[in-house]
Amino acid sequence: MFTYYLELALRSLKRSPGLTALMVLTIAFGVAASMTTYSVFRAVSGDPIPWKSSKLFVPQIDMWGPNGRGSDGEPPDAMDYNDAVTLMRDHRARLQSAMYQISPSIVPADASKHPINVSGHAVYSEFFPMLDVPFLYGSGWSTDDDTQRAAVVVISSKLNQKLFGGSNSVGKTVNVEGKDYRVVGVLNDWNPQPRFFDVVNSGGFSTGVEDVFLPFQRAISVGIPNDGNTNCNAVPTESGFVGLQHSACVWIAYMAELDDAAAVIAYKQYLDGYAHDAQQSGRFGWAPNNRLRDLPAWLDNQHVVPSDTKVSLLVALGLLLACLVNTAGLLLAKFLRRSSEIGVRRALGAPRMAIYAQFLVEAGMIGLAGGVLGLLLTGVGVASVGWVLPKDIAALARVDISLLLITLLVAVIATTLAGLYPTFRASRVQPAWQLKSN
């Protein structure tokens, strides 16, 4: 029976090619617009580390007091050197790392080549296991390397390609800012988006690759300066990078892994105790006002998903809705025009259900055709989204199997829905009246 309805639908669509093309185009337009923006939205609102994000926490300490809080009473979104190092020393979470953004120069061994400027982070050894960072060769450095300020480095596969032609470079040396570092690990492709471990400096999304990771205390002791944001509540009393370390300026990101609810409560108590002690000692003149957010809450708090992306998704959904109303109107016109045909079929004994089936199949076919065309347009849309959106965000939008399936499903379901009322009207046609009027 289904094939018969298909045949009927095809025949009816062929009879008015203009109207059919119009409906297919409308659906394709609406679906493509909403799917393109959805692909961007999905890319920016995705969880960068879904298997672990609920265990990763970002502590915030209110070391500036009421005067330095935002209008919403939030403490600073990064830490000063003193607090970050104290938290690392107390080591109350299972894994944790303070980190800051660096941008050192790498001097190639071949003296004829120019030095290159790379970006990366100074981190603690626990950074790598905490974030499940994938290694191609070697591994991260040890806790001893942290404390001994060892001259070790982890490099990206891209930098490894550039410096060592992609071979296993573990044990070889790299010249960073004029000093030799031993390579202990080479990362496999690792470019999480958003850059969740340091949202404050990357703004969430970044087209650049993290090329080098150095031990935090090593980078501090050789004076590799902070390349990220620095926020000060008061002018530092000493100049330079050392002055920054002694100041109350915030520039260090911090992340801790807390595996269960008890650990979270214990850590929160520890933070409050820390702030309370600072209040007792007179360093803070205010009550503890700390925050401990898990990663999804933190990304939300930092507005990592640009509100532009949300507004464009809303606009595109509005466009889809308008397209559907349009299609519903056209389908209604098309179906009601065939009242006499319906009348004949009903008079010959076709039940209402049969009319329903026939017309829904027709609507579904239009939806399918619209969906296929919409897929092509979505492909074009995603490919050209870089023209419209910032490159770092546009680069994330991708067409994959799930997007293809969603596009087709949305098109078919939406068109069938749009066809529901027109079909209902068609099935209500009075056979006797239609026959008589002919």
Partner 1 sequence: MDILPILSTLRRHKLTSWLLILEIALTCAIVCNAVFLIGQRLQRMDMPSGVAEHELLQIQVADVTSPSNPYARLAEDMAALRQVPGVLSVASSNEVPFGNSSSNGNIRLDPAQPERTLNATTYFGENLVQTLGPRLVSGRDLQSDDFVDVEAALKGLSTGDSKSLPHVTLITQTLAERLWPGQNPLGRIIYLTPTVGLRVVGVLDSLARPNAYDQAKAQYSMVVPLRMGADKDLSYLIRARPEDRANVLAAALVALKKVDPQRVVTMQRSFDEVRRKFFQDDRAMAGMLVGVIVALLIVTALGIVGLASFWVAQRRRTIGVRRALGATRGNILHYFQTENFVLATFGIALGMVLAYGVNLFLMSHYELPRLPGIYFPVGAVLLWLIGQLAVLGPALRAAAVPPVVATRSV
* Contact status: 177 vs partner 1 (CB under 8 A): yes
Angle 12-14-20 from CA coordinates, rounded to 5°: 85
Report how far residue 123's alpha carbon sits from residue 129's, in angstroms, rounded to the nearest whole number: 12
In this complex, which beta carbon is closest to partner 1, that of residue 95 or of residue 366? Answer: 366
In this complex, which beta carbon is closest to partner 1, that of residue 162 or of residue 425? Answer: 425
List the x/- string, 246-285, binding to partner 1 by CB under 8 A.
----------------------------------------
Which span (156-164, 286-294, 302-310, 426-434) binds partner 1, by CB under 8 A? 302-310
* Contact status: 300 vs partner 1 (CB under 8 A): no
Is the bond preceding residue 288 a cis peptide, omega within 30 degrees? no
* Contact status: 308 vs partner 1 (CB under 8 A): yes
* Contact status: 305 vs partner 1 (CB under 8 A): no
Which span (275-283, 291-299, 327-335, 355-363) binds partner 1, by CB under 8 A? 327-335
* Contact status: 348 vs partner 1 (CB under 8 A): no
In contact, 417 and 324? CB cutoff 8 Å = yes
In contact, 261 and 100? CB cutoff 8 Å = no
* Contact status: 49 vs partner 1 (CB under 8 A): no
In this complex, which beta carbon is closest to partner 1, that of residue 159 or of residue 330? Answer: 330
Nearest to 163 by CA among 203, 202, 108: 108
Query: What is the smallest separation between the CB atom of 316 and partner 1, expressed in angstroms?
Result: 7
Report how far residue 340's alpha carbon sits from residue 426's, in angstroms, rounded to the nearest whole number: 10
Query: What is the smallest separation between the CB atom of 118 and partner 1, expressed in angstroms?
Result: 10
Orientation of helix 17-45 relative to helix 2-15, angle to 10°: 110
Report how far residue 37's alpha carbon sits from residue 410's, in angstroms, rounded to the nearest whole number: 14
Q: How far is CA 299 from its chain centroid?
A: 10
* Contact status: 289 vs partner 1 (CB under 8 A): no
Query: What is the smallest separation between the CB atom of 319 and partner 1, expressed in angstroms?
Result: 6
Beta strands at 152-155 and 179-187: parallel, antiparallel or unpaired: parallel
Nearest to 177 by CA among 81, 98, 100, 102: 102
HSE, side-chain direction, 13 A CA sphere, residue 311: 3
Report how far residue 373's alpha carbon sits from residue 423's, in angstroms, rounded to the nearest whole number: 24
In this complex, which beta carbon is closest to partner 1, that of residue 51 or of residue 387? Answer: 387
In contact, 170 and 185? CB cutoff 8 Å = yes
CA distances from 368 to 19, 32, 356, 399, 411 (A): 16, 13, 18, 18, 7
* Contact status: 208 vs partner 1 (CB under 8 A): no
One of 54, 94, 326, 417 touching partner 1 (CB under 8 A): 326
* Contact status: 74 vs partner 1 (CB under 8 A): no
One of 33, 93, 163, 363 touching partner 1 (CB under 8 A): 33
362-391 residues near partner 1, rule: CB under 8 A: 387-390
One of 52, 172, 310, 352 touching partner 1 (CB under 8 A): 310
List the x/- string, 99-128, binding to partner 1 by CB under 8 A.
----x-x-x------xxxx-----------
DSSP state of 78: S
In this complex, which beta carbon is closest to partner 1, that of residue 26 or of residue 378? Answer: 26
Return all residues near 323 (Cβ < 8 A) that are at least 6 apart.
Answer: 26, 27, 29, 30, 31
CA distances from 424 to 5, 160, 210, 417 (A): 17, 65, 59, 11
Query: What is the smallest separation between the CB atom of 406 and partner 1, expressed in angstroms?
Result: 20
Which span (183-191, 264-272, 287-295, 325-333) binds partner 1, by CB under 8 A? 325-333
**Binding residues for partner 1 (CB under 8 A):** 19, 22, 25-26, 29-30, 33, 37, 67, 103, 105, 107, 114-117, 177-178, 225, 233-240, 243, 306-308, 310-312, 315-316, 318-319, 321-323, 325-326, 328-330, 332-334, 336-337, 387-390, 421, 425, 438
